């Protein structure tokens, strides 16, 4: 074992760590030294969104001590930032194993630092935490979750006083404060329990009322209240609020997938609790087929992502991808608000740079400004804050199954998304259409945009280097053609420069620096590459499009566009 790693291990064996932790280190020394090395070879990075990693002992794992040191650093920054105020934070957690323990640990540390803590008495969705920060006037907040990651993972997401995740300068400043905590002995573990207040039902009611106010067409729900809805919380927090919200909206025919209704951090019915995955949604699809449902919805463990299933023109149940869901949701709120007469001349929508450009086209057709921001809802939240005095935010979203409707919270929200998507299905059913048919209509009007995502995982000690090398290669030696089409523009968000490869002209990109590359091809295709901010992955996003002339030609065009994507992937040697 490397000497530096061994020194870390020995510091845990001799330091103020509990006996169970020390016993586990001894066991790994004997039985699994490779795992011990992985657990200590680096410090788990407190990134711009917080912590996320595998649970276990060691500096590179999620445990009481890494959570504790992060909370102490965040406490220090909050107190320095609001020196003349009684600092308040809200804390929530999901259904993952140890999430409650981590939330209580963080609550005790904040409280020991003299910070007023509002701790949910049991698991709650992440979006409710964002709402609560604003509702209770908190300066910050934390949710213990690893979102859609496998059961071995957990995490710690930090929020600021606007209800959004940390953005500059606070993200880097908090990281600096966390990195100053060099020992668990610097953590104030206990001593302020009187500063902790339990919260629950009263916040639920305020949140549900807020979501209900997002409804555009309650009168159509009344007509279509029997819309057949299948919902699965995938063993997560959605069960706490989604059924109640749907009932409050007026839907009377909601079927919860019983096998996945109970919160369970082992996620026993799935390999991966991610509604993007067909396997994860298979029980929901089965129930939808059995009862001939109108729509299927599934939320991830912390209920910030939503997956949607619909029946296609062949009578088959299919899952929409995140871009398709976003297209339908954005279009519904733009169209329905216009028809209802409540659209405002200063309405805006926001999406991320890797989300389908079809949304830009839809917004442009209705003379609504569509802003593009970096990946992550914290950037959507930051732009809302910048624009809220002069422009009216309606909806934001990204391709990773996230939507944020209305401005009363500042993170993606699958609970309100489920409700609005069901209202949208009722709206279309009232007009004699299915959601699938509506999507095809939009393709006919705006062009058929097809997107695809590849995530390449690079685990272990050299994984980050491999990812960095891949980005460096594409950045320093960009291809001149991809799949037979010339690369006409290269956008490098790290240098914040866009280059026209034909003329050599460059222009500035008016967004914060980020490690993202985009290749724009002559045939209209777009390829984006970026390392994940939360997992040891590099992601490649592909978007191709063409004109769809008739409904009957949809499947042939779908095949053609998929072949174009396959050709791009092959030419870039990604698979």
Mind listing the pLDDT tens digit for each residue in 460-477? 667 778 898 999 999 999
93 DSSP β-pair partners = 144
Residue 147 annotated as catalytic: yes
Q: Is 345 helix (H, G, I), strand (E, B) or coil?
A: coil
**pLDDT band of 458, cuts 50, 70, 90:** confident
Average pLDDT over residues 278-292: 98
Q: Can you tell me which residue has the tokens 């088959």?
A: 316
Helices (H), 407-450: 414-430, 435-446
Q: Which residue among 99, 147, 400, 543 is the active-site one?
A: 147
**pLDDT band of 126, cuts 50, 70, 90:** very high
**pLDDT band of 418, cuts 50, 70, 90:** very high
Domains 207-213+223-446 and 449-571 belong to one CATH topology: no
Residue closest to 165 by CA, chosen among 419, 554, 534, 475: 534
Q: What is the pLDDT of residue 502?
A: 86
CATH number of 207-213+223-446: 3.40.120.10
CATH number of 42-199: 3.40.120.10
Residue closest to 95 by CA, chosen among 325, 278, 275, 267: 267
State the average pLDDT for the chain: 96
CA distance 282 to 456: 24
Ordered DSSP codes for 383-417? HHHHHTTTSEEEEEEETTTEEEESSSS-S--HHHH
Boundaries of every domain in the chain: 42-199, 207-213+223-446, 449-571
pLDDT at 188 exceeding the cut of 70: yes
Q: Can you tell me which residue has the tokens 């880097």?
A: 172
* DSSP classification of residue 169: T
Residue closest to 182 by CA, chosen among 35, 79, 43, 309: 43
Structure tokens at 400: 């990773």
Q: What class has domain 449-571?
A: alpha beta
């Amino acid at each position: 074992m490397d000497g530096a790693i061994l020194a870390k291990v020995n510091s845990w064996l001799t330091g103020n760590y509990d006996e169970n932790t020390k016993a586990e280190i001894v066991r790994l020394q004997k039985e699994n030294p490779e795992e011990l090395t992985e657990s200590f070879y680096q410090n788990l990075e407190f990134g711009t969104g917080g912590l996320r990693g595998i649970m276990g002992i060691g500096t590179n794992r999620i445990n009481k001590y890494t959570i504790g040191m992060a909370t102490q650093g965040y406490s220090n920054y909050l107190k320095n930032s609001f020196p003349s105020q009684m600092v308040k934070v809200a804390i929530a957690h999901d259904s993952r194993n140890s999430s409650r323990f981590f939330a209580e640990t963080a609550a005790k540390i904040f409280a020991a630092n003299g910070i007023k803590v509002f701790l949910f008495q049991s698991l709650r969705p992440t979006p409710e935490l964002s709402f609560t920060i604003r509702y209770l006037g908190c300066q910050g907040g934390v949710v213990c979750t690893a979102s859609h990651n496998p059961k071995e993972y957990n995490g710690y997401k930090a929020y600021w006083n606007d209800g959004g995740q940390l953005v500059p300068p606070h993200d880097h400043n908090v990281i600096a404060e966390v990195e100053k905590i060099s020992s668990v002995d610097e953590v104030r573990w206990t001593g302020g329990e009187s500063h902790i207040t339990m919260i629950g039902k009263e916040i639920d009611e305020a949140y549900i009322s807020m979501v209900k106010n997002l409804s555009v067409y309650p009168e159509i729900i009344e007509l279509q209240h029997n819309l057949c809805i299948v919902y699965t919380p995938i063993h997560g927090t959605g069960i706490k609020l989604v059924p109640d919200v749907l009932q409050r909206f007026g839907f009377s025919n909601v079927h919860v997938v019983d096998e996945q209704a109970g919160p369970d951090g082992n996620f026993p019915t799935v390999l991966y609790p991610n509604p993007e995955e067909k396997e994860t949604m298979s029980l929901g699809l089965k129930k939808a087929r059995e009862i001939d449902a109108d729509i299927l919805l599934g939320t991830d463990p912390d209920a910030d992502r939503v997956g949607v299933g619909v029946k296609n023109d062949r009578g088959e149940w299919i899952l929409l991808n995140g871009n398709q869901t976003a297209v339908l949701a954005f279009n519904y709120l733009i169209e329905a608000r216009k028809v209802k007469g409540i659209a405002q001349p200063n309405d805006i929508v926001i999406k991320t740079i890797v989300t389908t450009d079809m949304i830009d086209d839809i917004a442009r057709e209705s003379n609504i400004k569509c802003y593009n921001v970096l990946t992550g809802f914290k950037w959507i939240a930051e732009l809302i804050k910048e624009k809220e005095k002069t422009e009216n935010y309606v909806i934001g979203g990204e391709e990773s199954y996230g939507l944020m409707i209305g401005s009363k919270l500042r993170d993606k929200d699958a609970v309100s998304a489920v409700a609005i998507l069901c209202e949208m299905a009722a709206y279309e059913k009232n007009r004699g259409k299915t959601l699938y048919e509506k999507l095809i209509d939009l393709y006919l009007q705006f062009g058929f945009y097809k997107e695809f995502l590849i995530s390449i995982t690079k685990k272990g000690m050299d994984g980050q280097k491999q990812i960095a090398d891949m980005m460096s290669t594409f950045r320093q030696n960009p291809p001149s053609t991809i799949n037979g089409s010339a690369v006409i523009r290269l956008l490098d968000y790290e240098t914040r420069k866009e280059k026209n490869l034909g003329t050599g002209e460059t222009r500035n990109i008016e967004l914060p620096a980020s490690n993202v590359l985009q290749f724009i091809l002559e045939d209209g295709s777009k390829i984006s590459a970026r390392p994940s901010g939360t997992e040891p992955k590099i992601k490649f996003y592909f978007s191709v499009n063409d004109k769809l002339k008739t409904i009957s030609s949809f499947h042939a065009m779908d095949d053609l566009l998929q072949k174009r994507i396959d050709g791009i992937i092959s030419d870039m040697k990604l698979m």
